[in-house]
Structure 1
């Protein structure tokens, strides 16, 4: 499995997404039905009224019987990718990656997987300056658009307010929404957005990204912490505060997961030190149920 730092080191989002996703493509096609699609499934006897273009003439010549080639057709859907680009996503892990770096790799890989499934894919980058929105499309030029938007995204400020987010929920459109965020919020604004999106669009996959040094609190001695969104600072002894920090963190993570699942979101915690495999596996699993 390729580590996030190796993928990031490629310095090519398109290549990194393809390399990360290629191991999931074999056998990953889900939610299929028989029809006149691209992949061969089985033969069935010809019946009057069937499309003659689907007859296997070579088999007919050998067996003197007429069979149609049944195919398998993927049921496609719309995938809406959301990136939290608030300033807290600039937090850097011990492996050198920020949460934003990890989110870029993850969303690029999911976009690649979705296109391979024949889905329409869109992307919205959420920042206080406004929404950078790419409407869902299934054409061949969509992936380069998404890669460019992700590669040039910058994290700044706080999570956008409800007025800025309003266009996202203005229209009802069935979709699988995938949100990548660290879920640092002032007044449940991220959860409020996802709740509205679930009401107007359907399934929500919430990928909660945390840095390993946040989860393990791998700091030592006297440390000064700065809130990336408010600018406030705090000085403390990391070794002394570690037990209390970890207790509070675990309680927050439990409460966060319980609240998200209680609202019907498919919630998963990810570490920036871990490969992207778990997230891609959950995406494909959710895609099966959504399709």
Structure 2
């Protein structure tokens, strides 16, 4: 599995998405269910109550036995990617990637995998100036639309207010919703949004994205930190504060994970140095459960 740095260095989002997903999808076939679809799968013996229209009369005439033609139809669902594009996503890790850079790669790879599974994919970018929304489609051009939107997104400002989010929460379409965010919020606004979206139907997977340097606190000496969304600054000695920072970070992460799961969300934590495959596996696990 290629590292995020190598994928980002390609400067080609479609290629990066395909490269990230290629190994994962090798040998992984579309989920299918038996039914009265168009693609023939196999015969099975007739059982009382079976639809006689699916009985193969020619085979019965030749063998004097009754068989039902089973076919396979692809199971699919709507996958709704929700990307947090607030200013905190501009935070950059030691590997040079910002959270937004990583999120572009992650959303593109997830969209590619979902499309390969036959799913309709939607994308909503959360931005204080308004929502950018691509409705769910399963046609051949949807990936190009998604890649274009992801390539052009810029992170800025704070989390959108309730009025801005209203069109998103008004939609009631069952889907597997995947939220990519660092979950930095002022008053649980992200949790409230996800709760409303889950009430609309389907499942919610939170991909909680953090930079490794903020989790491990790799900074040294005197450092000035700036809150990217409020502009507030804080000066401290990183070596003196490392242990306290790490303890508070771990406490927050445990609380965040516990609250998310208590609300019925699937929660997965990842950092900007991690390969993308685990997030894609988590998606496939949930998808299998839903279809």
Residues 241-267 of structure 1 deviation map (CA, whole Å, 9 limit, x = unaligned): 000000100000000001111100000
Task: Identify the range of structure 1 (18-27 vs 251-260) with the bigger mean alpha-carbon deviation.
Answer: 18-27
Contact 1:211–1:272, Cα closer than 8 Å, also in 2: yes
1:116 matched to which residue of 2?
116
1:58-69 to 2 correspondences below 5 Å: none
Distance 1:38 1:7 in 2: 39
TM-score for both structures, normalised by structure 1: 0.91
SS of residue paired to 1:194: helix
Deviation of 1:4 (Å): 0.5
Give the Cα–Cα distance (whole angstroms) in 1 for the partners of residues 119 and 226 of structure 2. Answer: 41
Q: 1:88 corresponds to which residue?
A: 88
CA contact (8 A) 1:85 1:154 kept: yes
| TM-score in terms of structure 2 length | 0.91
Question: Which digits, 9 at most, give the CA deviation of each residue in 1:101-153, with x for residues without a partner?
Answer: 11111111111111111111100000000000000111111110000000100
1:124-143 residue pairs with structure 2 within 5 A? 124-143=124-143
- What residue is the counterpart of 1:290 in the other structure? 290
* Match in the other structure for 2:281: 281
- Counterpart CA distance in 1 for 2:188 and 2:16 is 33
- How much has 1:283 moved relative to structure 2? 0.4
Q: Which residue of 2 is the match for residue 27 of structure 1?
A: 28
Name the stretch that deviates more: 270-279 or 39-48. 39-48
Instruction: Establish whether residue 170 from structure 1 lines up as the match of residue 170 from structure 2.
Output: yes
2:110 partner SS: helix
Distance 1:119-1:217 versus aligned 2 partners, 3 A rule: same
Write the distance in 1 (CA, Å) between the matches of 2:16 and 2:71: 32
Q: Distance in 2 between matches of 1:17 and 1:39?
A: 29
Q: 1:219 to 1:40 in 2, by over 3 A?
A: farther
Query: How far off is 1:35 after superposition?
Result: 3.0
Q: Which runs of 5+ in 2 are unaligned?
A: none
Shift of 1:44: 3.2
> 2:187 — aligned with what?
187
SS in structure 2 at match of 1:33: strand
Aligned residues: 287
Distance 1:149 1:106 in 2: 14
Q: Relative to structure 1, is the Cα distance of residues 122 and 183 closer, same or farther in structure 2, using a 3 angstrom cutoff?
A: same
> Alpha carbon RMSD of aligned pairs, Å?
2.4
Q: 1:28 to 1:91 in 2, by over 3 A?
A: farther
**Do 1:28 and 1:284's aligned partners in 2 also have CA atoms closer than 8 Å?**
no
Mapped partners of 2:14, 2:252: distance in 1: 35
Q: Distance in 2 between matches of 1:239 and 1:63?
A: 82
Q: Note closer, same or farther for the CA distance 1:128–1:39 as it changes in structure 2 (3 Å cut).
A: same
In structure 1, runs of 5+ residues without a counterpart are none
1-structure distance, mates of 2:124, 2:53: 44
User: What SS class does the counterpart of residue 108 from structure 2 fall into?
Assistant: helix
Residue pair 2:86, 2:158 contacting (<8 A) in 1 also: yes
Which residue in the other structure is 2:243 paired with? 243
Q: CA deviation at 1:201?
A: 2.4
Give the Å deviation of 1:215.
1.0
